[in-house]
Structure 1
Amino acid sequence: MSHNVVVGVDGSEPSAAAAEWAAQEAHRTGSALRLVHVAGTEADALARELDGVGGVPQPVAAIRDRVAAAVPGLDSSCEVLPGKPAYALAAAGHGARLLVLGSRGLGGFTGLLVGSVGLRTAAHADCPVVLVRAGADGRGGSPGDVVVGVEGDRPCDAVLGFAFRHAADTGAVLRAVESRHPSHGPYVTDAPLDDREITESLRTAEEVRLRDALARWREKYPEVRTQVDVCAWNAGRALVEASRSASLVVLGRRAPRHPLAAPRLGPVAHAVLHHAHSPVAIVPHD
């Protein structure tokens, strides 16, 4: 794995927000920043030739210069790659420490917080992918919690390791959230279950089990303060609500069980990506 932080830029405001988030992350971790623009069409290539600066389209060059001014001395590069955006970006992130994207680019629908390119890239990349939207309540450098979605009976080391490292690096509280809602839907808008549905004794037992799932990581990162939250919302709604006070929400993405199956995001990840108030990290794992 390289120490590069890769960020996809297309000249849009969401990609500018992603570039600024990525630059701060690269600076904080001592990584190099690689800005990548995918020119997949003849029209895009022509625009780059006619309106470019150093072979980079003018809007992308403006983001490059904006990042350089915001984080002086950062080791950074900017390049144009051919291909279909989602697959080219996933390939650019191969072996990288992190791949950062704006949640919606120039071609996205205004009603969606995450466009198809972001969803496809997050599903195919072999490195953690962070999606950042312009105007999100949570910011990469804010003191908000690092929220991680946990299945207490099946904790994932890759996801917990990423969340604990980020919390340790930023001095944030790590908040592990687990849902005990009977609904199988990823996102609901009605009120949570009555507290009688999760008795105090059951809640206490679930919290103990969740703390046990975190024990090894708490020993490895003793400086990280942790909180556990077993709630009656379903998983998507619980994580979206938790994102209101978060600097980052961390979720896992399982690799396909069959070698010929296409990579995909689960329904909870879809729900959180479309509704979260903070940046969201998708961490691939077996």
Structure 2
Amino acid sequence: MTNEGASKTIVVGYDGSEESNRAVQWAAKHAILRDCSLRVVHCSLWVLLSHNRGPVPGVADSGLERAAQKVLEEGVVLAKETVPELEVHTTLLHGMPRDHLAHVSAGAAMLVLGSRGLGGFMGLLVGSVSLELAATAECPVAVIRADDNPDGFVLLAVDDSGSPAALEDACHFAEATGADLKIVHVLHEPAGYRRLRDPVEDYPEAEALLDSVMSHARHKAPGIKVAGELLVDASFSRAVVKASQGARLTVVGTKGHGVIKGTIGSTAHAVLHHAHSPVLVSRRKAQPA
């Protein structure tokens, strides 16, 4: 894909699982709303297990390579069933998804992934591939666990910087869907410092930040209803997760400066695991220092 073409394309990873089924359906619906084409990508792992991927002699429509192509075709059928008029392209790759998906989605409008989870073990529901790509991809990354509130609001969580990339993405979604935009900024206070959820009346800097972000949002997405709320909690991520109840999408930023490759900030990490909606991590291509 050229950079120009990529910017009007939503890329979705598909492996035939129920999680990736949800991801394809979600990606198809949002691609048509944002006037984007959809690229369904399947990464076949057979190359890691066998060099003989050709058809079985005398058996029609057989072989490991054909099996991979069938998975990809299933993803296309699902996308077209969801949005018949959608322009859909395909890419079949061989190897680890975390390596290929980061490359093929570079410059795309968005990369959409299912949550291949751990069955509730320790409450962690997002798979390692989704987590790593949310930390390393060069475009916004949406992780779809469920889509229980398709008519809900878009939730944007901003940090002290105002999270400009996340603001831009949240406004795009609100405009495309016609959804209300709710912006929250979390003020951290240690547990026991004061009763949580006390009225926030004495934080002029935080109020000014939130007012500024809301003003920018109204400018970027005129006609969209914008509301804001300051939250006080001992945990940033807990406050955002609570606020995500009823949301159709939760948008968070990430500084992407983890010391360990493939790590994101603790707030984005926790929200990915526990939010009550699909989560969009607003990634951008790293700029030279």
Q: Is the structural similarity TM-score above 0.5?
A: yes
SS at match of 1:64: helix
In our comparison, the structure showing a higher alpha carbon Rg is: 2
Contact 1:52 1:58 (8 Å CA) reproduced: no
CA-CA distance at 1:30 after TM superposition? 1.7
What is the aligned-residue identity percentage?
A: 34
Gaps in structure 2 of 5+ consecutive residues? 56-61
Q: CA deviation at 1:280?
A: 0.3
Task: Give the count of matched residue pairs.
Answer: 269
In structure 2, the residue matched to 1:150 is 158
Task: Select between 249-258 and 112-121 the one with higher mean Cα deviation.
Answer: 249-258
8 Å contact kept, 1:192–1:232 = no
**Relative to structure 1, is the Cα distance of residues 175 and 11 closer, same or farther in structure 2, using a 3 angstrom cutoff?**
same
Q: 1:193 Cα shift?
A: 5.4
Question: For the structure 1 residues 210 and 74, does the alpha-carbon distance in structure 2 shift closer, same or farther, using more than 3 Å as the test?
Answer: same
> Counterpart of 1:77 in 2: which secondary structure?
strand
1:164 is paired with a residue whose SS is: helix
Structure 1 unaligned spans of 5+: 184-189
Q: Is the contact between residue 101 and residue 131 of structure 1 (CA under 8 Å) also seen in structure 2?
A: yes
Q: Does 1:137 align with 2:148?
A: yes
Mapped to 2, the partners of 1:116 and 1:161 lie a distance apart of 27
With the length of structure 2 as denominator, give the TM-score of the two structures.
0.83
Contact 1:177-1:238 within 8 A present in 2 as well: no
What's 2:88 paired with? 76
Alpha-carbon displacement from aligned partner over 1:82-104 (angstroms, at most 9, x marks no partner): 23211211111111111000011
SS in 2 for 1:123: helix
Matched residue SS, 1:122: helix
Specify the code of the residue in structure 2 equivalent to 1:154: S
| The one of 99, 114, 118 aligned to 1:109 | 118
Hey, what's the Cα distance between the residues in 1 that align with 2:128 and 2:43? 15
Alpha-carbon shift at residue 198 of structure 1 (Å) = 4.7
CA shift in 2, pair 1:46/1:23, >3 Å: farther
Question: How far does residue 239 in structure 1 lie from its aligned partner after superposition?
Answer: 1.3
Maintained 8 Å contact 2:12/2:27 = yes
Q: Which residue identity is paired with 1:146?
A: V
Specify the alignment match of 2:79 in structure 1: 67
* 2:254 alignment partner, SS class: strand
Partner of 1:244: 245
* Aligned 1:136-285 pairs, distance under 5 A: 136-138=147-149, 142-151=150-159, 153-183=160-190, 194-195=195-196, 198-202=198-202, 206-233=206-233, 234-256=235-257, 262-285=261-284
Tell me whether 163-172 or 39-48 shows the greater mean CA deviation: 39-48
How big is the shift at 1:200? Answer: 4.3
How far did 1:158 drift? 1.3
Q: CA RMSD in A?
A: 2.8
Q: Deviations over 1:25-77 (max 9, x none)?
A: 11112211100011134348878963679663544433321221221121102
Q: Deviations over 1:3-26 (max 9, x none)?
A: 111000010000000000000111
Three-state SS of the structure 2 residue aligned to 1:96 is coil
